[in-house]
Amino acid sequence: FGFARYIQPNEWCQTRCGTPAFVAPEILLGIPYGISADLWSIGCLLYMLIAGYPPFTGNNHRELFCKVRAGDFVFHDTVFGNVSTSAKTLIANLLTVSVESRWTAVQALGGNWFKMKDKELQSNDLSSRALQGFQSFGAKKRWKAAKTAIVWAANQRFWKPDNVTFNQQLTAWDKQAIKNQVESEQAMDEDGEDSDSESNNKKSRAPPTRVLTTQGSVRIPAAPLDAIAVPCVRFRDVYDLQKVLRNGTSAQVCLCTHAHTKETYAVKMIDRRQLTPLDDENVLTEVAAMQALSGNKYCVQLLDFYEEPDCFYLVMEYMTGGDVFERIVNLRAYTEQDARDLSVDLIMAVKSIHAAGIAHRDIKPQNLLLVTTHDHTSIKIGDFGFSRRVHTPNSLTSRVGTPTYVAPEILKNIPHDERADLWSIGVVIFVLLVGYPPFLEDNQAVLFDKIRMGEWSFVDEDWRHISDDAKALIHGLLRVDPKERWSVDQALRCKWINQDGRSLAGISLQDSVSSIRTKRTRLRALARPVMWSDNRVHADVATQAQPMEPMDIVDEADHEDLSSAYDISLASIAMDDEYGQSSNML
């Protein structure tokens, strides 16, 4: 009980302490916390009892803490394939970053897992995998460091992992500088006793580092170097900023070049000065999703990441081809074969994202980026600000998305999963074929009602020349009930996707191109992900799109409609450059 504290009603702890592999994210974020931090640790322990290894691991403490703060863990099929959904649901609800959404002890004890009969659970033998996991993982050096209980001053870099990068390695100079710093601080703290920040927050010098062992509390020389070491290299030491691609109040997307290689990248810069500590979770969740999709040819790649006191920097590959809309309107000829080929890449891309256990939740043409200006069909999906891991079926509850493309279950506030992306795919394919979405209303309330009810149709004048197989695919995807909605595999098996391209090449969609051209401004306005915050509707700038055209401001009546359909969401950085409130961080 060395770290235990008695908490009076309406009081909170502030000490940054715990065991790295089991510490709650609110402790890492420096947010006042309470007893719910223990429930997070219980979730970690339950995961480990089943799997034989902890849910969060890393090569060093910085990697580990980034995953904890983002709540980035996976139920691996090789271990959890036969584990009951009730057990995974319990763990997932305990390992929820949001303290308000995390289950309490009473809720956990009321879960279905504790109500299951012993015989049901005894039939699932964990001996081979779990025990093997304990034996192999317990011997690893990084696990020995991760299970060491420590307490560190709130102002120490161990608990404040600023300036984190993916690829940066510590130089000998860095290690020596940090070693000197640690030795200096230890000399200052020779006589230190209590490191609890509640009782020592007025002291100017750092308290000593402690570790809890079976023999009690003893002094250790220092935390591991990789736990406290922070490279002195910052983003602007490595990259040179070029022109601004997108601009907003909280973030910018700019071109940048590597100072040495001169290679060009896109960087998303998020101003932390306007964010709360809790907002960091959402940025790190986006980073974690992109990390999980590293090497995926269908997704925009995150190449580097810097976490600095005033700004996050997400360095991504630069997509020179623009988005799908921009490419279509510039084509001299556009046929149903072109639309089909784009649809194949889109479905394959979403399938690969789902295979990684991630739901994107903001599939739309503006997030479909083309690799080059020469290839019309090779697309990559960008903007993972709304993405979340799907641990169990229907485990997502946040109401986020883009109104025109959002699935009805999200609007109905029904727990959902990756099947919501299939609805969005159906809307996108609809747009690719006729140039406008199936749900097109100026009034948000009417729009949302039609989406909830699935009220849409094929206007004969626009669809008479389009193949019936294409319509069948859209019918299969735009089903209100997620259980009846086609899966990605069903979509890939349909006739239209597998049809000979020569028969589709003769079906011109030039009228659709004209429709996109005339409705482009309106379609872009309808494609803004919205969130209700501070009595304003915000839009997100997260992709490498072309410079934005002027847009009409949504009137106050629509604001009221939006608030009834969307809860406050920080799943991506709020932007409102469409409202003329842009700022320049350069």
Residue 135: per-residue pLDDT:
67
Residue 213's CB: how many other CB atoms inside 10 A?
Answer: 12
CA 63 to chain CA centroid, nearest Å: 16
Mean pLDDT, residues 535-564 taken together: 34
**Would you say 50 and 126 are in contact if contact means Cβ atoms under 8 Å apart?**
yes
Residue 247: per-residue pLDDT:
79
pLDDT of 506 strictly over 50: yes
Residue 463, phi-psi category: left (phi > 0), alpha (psi -120 to 50), beta (remainder): alpha
Residue 522: per-residue pLDDT:
56
Write the pLDDT tens digit of every residue in 345-376.
Answer: 999 999 999 999 999 999 998 899 988 877 76
pLDDT of 586 strictly over 70: no
Residue 362 annotated among the catalytic residues of the structure: yes
CA 228 to chain CA centroid, nearest Å: 26
For the 324-519 domain, the top CATH level (class) is: mainly alpha
Catalytic residue among 362, 421, 540, 561: 362
**Across the beta sheet with 216-219, what order do the strands follow?**
17-18, 150-151, 210-213, 216-219
Give the residue carrying structure tokens 């997932």. Answer: 92
How does DSSP assign 122-144, residue by residue? HTS--IIIIIHHHHHHHT-HHHH
Mean pLDDT, residues 572-584 taken together: 29
Residue 149: per-residue pLDDT:
61
Q: Which residue has the higher pLDDT, 101 or 328?
A: 101
CA 78 to chain CA centroid, nearest Å: 24
Q: Which residue has the higher pLDDT, 103 or 156?
A: 103
Confidence of residue 122 (pLDDT cuts 50, 70, 90): confident
**Would you say 48 and 129 are in contact if contact means Cβ atoms under 8 Å apart?**
no
Give the residue carrying structure tokens 């009690």. Answer: 216
**Would you say 201 and 142 are in contact if contact means Cβ atoms under 8 Å apart?**
no
Confidence of residue 519 (pLDDT cuts 50, 70, 90): low
Pick the range with the lowest mean pLDDT from 67-76, 157-166, 280-289, 571-580.
Answer: 571-580
User: Are domains 20-147 and 324-519 of this chain identical in fold?
Assistant: yes
Q: How far apart are CA 473 and CA 494, in angstroms?
A: 7
Residue 276's CB: how many other CB atoms inside 10 A?
Answer: 11
Residue 10: per-residue pLDDT:
82
Which range has highest mean pLDDT (279-283, 374-378, 433-437)? 433-437
Structure tokens at 231: 């490279």
Q: How far apart are CA 410 and CA 433, in angstroms?
A: 25
Residue 135's CB: how many other CB atoms inside 10 A?
Answer: 10
Residue 62: per-residue pLDDT:
76
Residue 309: per-residue pLDDT:
84
pLDDT of 454 strictly over 60: yes
Q: How far apart are CA 342 and CA 344, in angstroms?
A: 5
Mean pLDDT, residues 128-141 taken together: 66
Mean pLDDT, residues 537-566 taken together: 34
Dihedral pair phi/psi, residue 76, rounded to 5°: -70, 135
User: What is the β-pairing status of strands 358-359 and 379-381?
Assistant: unpaired
Ranges of each domain in the chain: 20-147, 324-519
Dihedral pair phi/psi, residue 533, rounded to 5°: -155, 130
pLDDT of 58 strictly over 50: yes
Helix 36-51 and helix 85-94, axial crossing angle in degrees, nearest 10: 140
Architecture of the domain whose range is 20-147: Orthogonal Bundle (1.10)
% helix, strand, coil for the chain, step of 5 = 40, 15, 45
DSSP H helices in 527-581 = 556-565
Tell me how far CA of residue 356 lies from CA of 289, 359, 485, in angstroms.
9, 9, 20
Which range has highest mean pLDDT (509-513, 515-519, 530-534, 559-563)? 509-513
